[in-house]
Structure 1
Amino acid sequence: MPDAHRPATLIALDWGTSSLRAYLLDDAGGVRDHRESPHGIRALPEGGFPAAFAEAVHGWPEALPVLMSGMIGARSGWREAPYAEIGPQGVGPEELAADLTDIADLTGRPAWIVPGVAARGPSGPDVMRGEETQVVGAGLSGGTVALPGTHSKWVEIREGRIAGFRTSMTGELYAALSRHTILADTLSPPADAAEDAAGFAEGLAAARALEAPGDLLGAFFSIRARALFAELSPGSTGPFLSGLLIGAEIAANAGADSGPVRLIANAALAARYATALTAWGRESQTLPPDIAAAGLHALARAARLTGDAT
């Protein structure tokens, strides 16, 4: 619990595609108040961004700085914020704090947006918005941080800096395959937790058995064939697809690092990934909620928005 005697010094907004989370933080980063809204950038109320913002911060001190991260800074957001490029030395809080985008003219109060992060590698460029702030909130200790979701991110941390990352469209691909392909006629919800777990485990095993990346394409259709020949129960087909996709993601991204993978996700999704990582012989640690708020507080301090610095 935050100390009631500590003054509120920052309003932090984690503003994504489908949701908006607002935090009133004290000078130690404690959460004095917390609000959640469905008004992500693709679900704005009448009045658009200004109305969603006003609702999120209503009643909180107008003099406090507001720091935002996430898709609010995308090209389709309120104002596009730049990307901090990962160079040979990586990207740390100092670079992110130095390149905030001022939007006081839009909000009528002191407010900034955190930049995203861009990486360039042999397979082409990659970008993230919002995850960089969560990673900062996780403490930037060395190793791997995984952020499962619609577009899962696997972030490598070295010497307190983001050294690189890769994106996997796992969640979005599951939604597309299960709704808009021939598998839509095959997949059924599991009858109970046991059937869910069994189907997921079979999918992980199928992912482990893939000999080449291209084999995944055939493995998708095999779900229909397995169901036709009763090798999969109807209710295990969806979990099987989930296990196949998550397993392939882990095989591609877990790498040789032997340390625990730190997971940032909701409890149900983190549990899925923890189970999958165990199947690959990897340990995991699920990080607590409000990681984005902790990251925004750290960046605000680094930018001296709150009158002090780390």
Structure 2
Amino acid sequence: MNRKLTNAVFKIFVWAAMAASFGILLFLISVLFWKGFGAISFDFLFTPSSNFGAEGGIVYQIVGSILLIVFATLIAFPLSLGFAIYKSEYVKSSYVQNITDTLIYGLNGIPSIIFGIFGLIFFVNLLNTGISWFVGSIILAIMILPTIILSTYQAINSIPDSFRENALALGLTKWQLITTTLLPRGLSGAFTGLLIGLSRAIGETAPIMFIATAFSGVTIPVGFFEPVSALPTHILALAQQATNPQALQNAWGTSLVLLLLVLIFSIAALWRRVKFSKIEY
């Protein structure tokens, strides 16, 4: 009887926690849609901002955010694939495995503001790059590395050893085994991790605020070492003008656009994960 009562209480607690989490998420999304939908228009999405963002649209902020995450992808994705393959196929020592796990999980747990300060000290001050969107992409790439590495590693590690043994028995080299057998099956996990990482990176403010973005007066960059304007920092600038009704309306609209981009990446990652989970070995 006590066991049944304990199970019932635990089940109620789990369902209540799930309902509360879902309710909070639904409330936040509903508020953003309610407040921000009125600001969304063709002009808002495809015209530049003016008067420190209180007027005009967010076209340069959208372009800046996409530019940051595209180059972060180009930097992080091949590095993550290489590290995951090395960790899965070449590292045999449990001691080295523990060290790599510590490094990956430690990097994943670093607060985002620390990445921004590191970029400011190392790139902007020591290397004298100035405020640069490319530096921002490098920092965002470092941030999402652990997510992609872990997702790729789990995907590759889930492949049965019989695949490796059969491939080697057929005379394939280690490199051929990786490129023809492991990598095609590991890419699904890599893409899932990439999409999850990008859904985080595109909404980050602290890592890029000091090193990659300017709050106003920037357009589409023509070089690697120029600032951009991004959606998260634009929201921050508009929030400081909360007494201005037009600026506040634009802030809600920008927040809704950013939320929709995050939802797109998150839903795509979920779709990739569900599709990958149906693969049978």
Query: Which is higher, the Rg of structure 1 or of structure 2?
Result: 2
**Higher helix proportion, which one?**
2
Asked which structure has the greater RCO (Cα within 8 Å, sep 6+), the reply is: 2
| Shorter-normalised TM range | under 0.3
TM-score, with length taken from structure 1: 0.24
